[in-house]
């Protein structure tokens, strides 16, 4: 796939992650403040399972990436965090060529835990939901 097949407003995203490089390429749309708003991915042959539908693990990976992007975008300072729990619901299949969008809602952020949800959609149809809890590990040091 080339960038011509990417919806307007999305830009290529360098995740700087060997695993994400295997599951991408990813694209993002920024809000009016220049912060992450939507994560997108065009389903390719490599994303399919034996039945020629998007692999369920891919949907979980997209959601996990989108959740992390949203947490970082909504944080006032750099943070490190790890997944405590992740639950998912598979509602519909994705097929090669489909454009998947991931949107996140952060329900609550406390001093140690972050509760969030992610919904994946294709052409506006909800295909997958995830709920997750993250623990804040440490505050990252910034270099001047």
- Distance between CA atoms of residues 118 and 3, nearest Å: 25
pLDDT band at 17 (very low <50, low <70, confident <90, very high): confident
Cα radius of gyration (the chain): 15
pLDDT band at 1 (very low <50, low <70, confident <90, very high): very low
Helix and strand numbers (H, E) in the chain are: 2, 7
Nearest to 9 by CA among 24, 25, 28, 26: 28
pLDDT band at 41 (very low <50, low <70, confident <90, very high): very high
Classify burial at 16, counting beta carbons within 10 Å of its beta carbon; exposed 0-12, middle 13-18, buried 19 or more.
exposed
pLDDT value of position 3: 56
Q: Map out the domains of the chain with their CATH numbers.
A: 10-136 (3.10.129.10)
């Amino acid at each position: 796939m080339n960038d011509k097949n990417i919806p307007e407003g999305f830009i290529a995203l360098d995740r700087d992650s060997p695993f994400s490089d295997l599951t991408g390429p990813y694209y993002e749309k920024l809000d009016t403040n220049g912060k992450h708003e939507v994560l997108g991915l065009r389903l390719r042959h490599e994303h399919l399972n034996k039945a020629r539908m998007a692999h369920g693990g891919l949907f979980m990976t997209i959601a996990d990436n989108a959740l992390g992007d949203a947490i970082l975008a909504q944080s006032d300072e750099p943070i490190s965090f790890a997944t405590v729990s992740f639950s998912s619901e598979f509602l519909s299949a994705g097929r090669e060529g489909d454009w998947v969008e991931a949107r996140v809602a952060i329900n609550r952020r406390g001093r140690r835990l972050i509760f969030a949800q992610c919904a994946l959609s294709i052409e506006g149809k909800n295909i997958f939901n995830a709920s997750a809890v993250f623990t804040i590990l440490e505050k990252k040091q910034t270099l001047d």
